[in-house]
């Protein structure tokens, strides 16, 4: 550790001691914080020299001291709202789905039953039916979104209220025909939801999240929390880049975004500067855009942009200084996004999100083009949904290139990890477990699914910290526990050097620090 010359006058406001600083380095067991910055990382003895009786001291009890996690892809407001709604996540069978809906409907008297989280694999044939939801909620409108947020399930009262003729299963943009009739949440409810969401983030050691869309509608909410000094989480908001606009409308939208950013004056708690586009849907509903038809069908999925339209939009944004992130799951969508990023400005660090079923031919292009791979390991959890719906839709040959994070990382590309909350739980421990084992929490399948794509824990942690910071142009501020960096720290309940990988998902967070403030202690 290097002390600066005037170390004598630098007193730590906070010190985390008796742990293991990650990545491991010689004698580093403690971190000292002054204000919102890291003052030093070193031995306990070194750090004690920087403390006095006013210093708050957290004993890590031999646990790991990490840079706080940076979730590079979340839908934070959507997820925070859903904390108070019906939750079907993890319900593996239709019986369990029915039970949860019945219990929720009986206990909630609101005008609508609203929820999310169902797995396609819970239903025969991979989709629910309107008859089933009519039976479970006969008396009022009900609308429940799939776990991946790409398919809606409505009952007859909801369809009547919305005035739409539909089977009750609504894919992609069709969801809007019903969701726009759900009573809007009041601003105070949204602020309360974000407070609850921030508590969940703090419990999981998360210091930063990157909101993947609709940021233009959320900026005011986050600023309100900043003004009342309630932000316990840093957020970066992506604004929506949408298809189907003519040249004038596209320009008008970018003018508006530029103006919003100018008026906002980015602060360390709320960042902007990135646009989010969807290139396709998801494999489960066969809306992800594929180069060859889905197994046993003639369907190629649903690309959302015209052939050159995405490239034009990306180039226009790039020219005005915007970074762009593109949701691309199918091999055709991933190729379209890579093609759009070819001949853009490398320094923008454009990104592709998800990368579930790429063509092996495209993997080297991430490093070649300087495109960041933003991936969410929990999506590759080898569960029933993956084996019974995702994999049969693609066929085993294409599925063999599923979520190839090791190939992309080892080709020299930058990789950022996240959850995609609420698509999966906001749980970095669960994410790290899948990243290094390619197994379920129960250890299945033995040896892991596509085990060649397992990575080392050090690599997975880097993608969850420095990788996320790089993906938001903030690696000089966060993602590393070094002098001068923002004091965003997670303290884990165990020593990651000796923890068996099979137990990774069980690890707990003991404390979370954001900007030198202790925002969680367990
Ligand atoms: Zn997402």
**Among 7-16, 167-176, 250-259, 503-512, the least confident range:** 7-16
Record the tokens describing residue 184, joined without a space.
């809007």
User: pLDDT by residue (tens digit) across 370-408?
Assistant: 999 999 999 999 999 999 999 999 999 999 999 999 999
DSSP annotation of 288 reads S
Tell me how far the alpha carbon of residue 32 lies from the centroid of ligand 1, in angstroms. Answer: 36
**71-76+185-471: CATH topology:** TIM Barrel (3.20.20)
Tell me how far the alpha carbon of residue 16 lies from the centroid of ligand 1, in angstroms. Answer: 34
In this prediction, residues 288-313 reach a mean pLDDT of 96
For residue 500, is pLDDT > 70? yes
DSSP annotation of 293 reads P
What angle (nearest 5°) sits at the alpha carbon of residue 392, between those of residues 391 and 396?
65
Tell me how far the alpha carbon of residue 326 lies from the centroid of ligand 1, in angstroms. Answer: 10
**Residues 286 and 299: beta-carbon distance below 8 Å:** yes
Q: Where in the chain is the domain with CATH 3.10.310.70?
A: 84-179
**Residues 74 and 210: beta-carbon distance below 8 Å:** yes
Tell me how far the alpha carbon of residue 75 lies from the centroid of ligand 1, in angstroms. Answer: 6
Tell me how far the alpha carbon of residue 421 lies from the centroid of ligand 1, in angstroms. Answer: 8
Return the SS3 of 26.
coil
For residue 133, is pLDDT > 90? yes
Residues 6+ apart with CB under 8 A from 293: 299, 300
Q: Where in the chain is the domain with CATH 3.20.20.140?
A: 71-76+185-471
**Chain CA centroid to CA 372, Å:** 14
Tell me how far the alpha carbon of residue 182 lies from the centroid of ligand 1, in angstroms. Answer: 21
- In this prediction, residue 1 carries a pLDDT of 47
Residues 6+ apart with CB under 8 A from 37: 484, 485, 486, 487, 516
User: pLDDT by residue (tens digit) across 445-465?
Assistant: 999 999 999 999 999 999 999
In this prediction, residues 492-497 reach a mean pLDDT of 95
Tell me how far the alpha carbon of residue 212 lies from the centroid of ligand 1, in angstroms. Answer: 6
- CB neighbourhood size of 24 (10 A): 12
CATH number for 84-179 (one of 3.10.310.70, 1.10.1040.10, 3.40.190.10, 3.40.50.300): it is 3.10.310.70
Q: Identify which of 372, 374, 321, 320 has the alpha carbon closest to the alpha carbon of residue 350.
A: 372
Tell me how far the alpha carbon of residue 504 lies from the centroid of ligand 1, in angstroms. Answer: 24
Tell me how far the alpha carbon of residue 515 lies from the centroid of ligand 1, in angstroms. Answer: 27
Tell me how far the alpha carbon of residue 74 lies from the centroid of ligand 1, in angstroms. Answer: 6
Tell me how far the alpha carbon of residue 328 lies from the centroid of ligand 1, in angstroms. Answer: 10
For residue 266, is pLDDT > 80? no
For residue 162, is pLDDT > 80? yes
Residue 386 zone, left/alpha/beta (φ > 0; ψ -120 to 50; rest): alpha
Return the SS3 of 103.
helix
Q: Identify which of 112, 115, 118, 79 has the alpha carbon closest to the alpha carbon of residue 96.
A: 118
CA 230 – CA 219 distance, rounded (Å): 15
Tell me how far the alpha carbon of residue 211 lies from the centroid of ligand 1, in angstroms. Answer: 9
For residue 21, is pLDDT > 50? yes
Three-class SS string for 318-362? HHCCCEEEEEECCHHHHHHHHHHHCCCCHHHCCEEEECCCCCHHH
- In this prediction, residue 178 carries a pLDDT of 95
CATH number for 7-68+484-521 (one of 2.30.40.10, 3.30.1330.10, 3.30.70.2190, 3.40.50.300): it is 2.30.40.10
Query: Near ion ligand 1, which residues have CB within 5 Å?
Result: 212, 420
């Amino acid at each position: 550790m290097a002390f600066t010359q005037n170390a004598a006058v630098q007193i730590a406001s906070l010190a985390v001691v008796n742990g293991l600083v990650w990545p491991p380095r010689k004698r580093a067991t403690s971190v000292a914080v002054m204000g919102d910055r890291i003052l030093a990382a070193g031995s306990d003895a070194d750090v004690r020299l920087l403390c006095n009786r006013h210093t708050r001291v957290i004993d890590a009890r031999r646990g790991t001291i990490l840079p706080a996690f940076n979730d590079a892809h979340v839908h934070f407001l959507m997820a925070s709202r859903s904390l108070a709604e019906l939750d079907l996540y993890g319900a593996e069978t239709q019986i369990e789905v029915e039970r949860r809906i019945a219990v929720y409907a009986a206990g909630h008297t609101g005008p609508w039953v609203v929820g999310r989280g169902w797995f396609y694999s819970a239903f025969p044939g991979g989709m629910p039916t309107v008859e089933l939801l009519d039976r479970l909620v006969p008396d009022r409108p009900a609308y429940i979104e799939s776990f991946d947020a790409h398919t809606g399930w409505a009952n007859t009262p909801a369809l009547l209220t919305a005035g739409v003729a539909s089977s009750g299963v609504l894919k992609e943009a069709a969801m809007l025909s019903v969701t726009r009739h759900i009573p809007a949440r009041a601003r105070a409810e949204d602020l309360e939801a974000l407070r609850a969401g921030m508590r969940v983030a703090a419990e999981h050691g998360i210091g930063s999240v990157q909101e993947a869309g609709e940021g233009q509608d959320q900026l005011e909410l986050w600023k309100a929390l900043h003004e009342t000094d309630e932000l316990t989480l840093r957020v970066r908001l992506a604004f929506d880049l949408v298809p189907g606009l003519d040249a004038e409308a596209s320009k008008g939208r970018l003018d508006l975004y530029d103006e919003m950013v100018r008026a906002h004056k980015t602060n360390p708690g709320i960042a902007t500067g990135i646009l989010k586009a969807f290139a396709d849907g998801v494999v489960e509903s066969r809306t992800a855009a594929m180069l060859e038809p889905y197994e046993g069908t003639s369907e190629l999925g649903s690309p959302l942009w015209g052939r050159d339209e995405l490239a034009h939009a990306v180039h226009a944004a790039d020219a005005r200084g915007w970074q762009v992130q593109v949701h691309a799951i199918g091999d055709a969508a991933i190729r379209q996004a890579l093609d759009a990023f070819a001949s853009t400005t490398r320094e923008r660090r454009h990104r592709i999100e998800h990368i579930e079923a790429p063509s092996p031919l495209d993997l080297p292009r991430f490093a070649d083009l300087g495109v960041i791979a933003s991936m969410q390991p929990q999506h590759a959890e080898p569960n029933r949904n993956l084996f019974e719906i995702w994999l049969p839709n693609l066929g085993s040959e294409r599925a063999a290139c599923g979520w190839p994070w090791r190939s992309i990382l080892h080709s020299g590309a930058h990789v950022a990890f996240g959850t995609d909350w609420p698509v999966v739980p906001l749980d970095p421990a669960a994410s790290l477990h899948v990243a290094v084992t390619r197994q379920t929490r129960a250890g299945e399948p033995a040896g892991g699914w596509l085990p060649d794509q397992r990575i080392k824990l050090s690599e997975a942690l880097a993608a969850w910290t420095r990788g996320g910071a790089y993906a938001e142009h903030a690696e000089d501020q966060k993602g590393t526990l070094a002098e001068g960096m923002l004091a965003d720290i997670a303290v884990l309940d165990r020593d990651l050097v000796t923890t068996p990988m099979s137990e990774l998902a069980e690890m707990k967070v003991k404390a979370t620090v954001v900007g030198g403030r202790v925002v969680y202690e367990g």
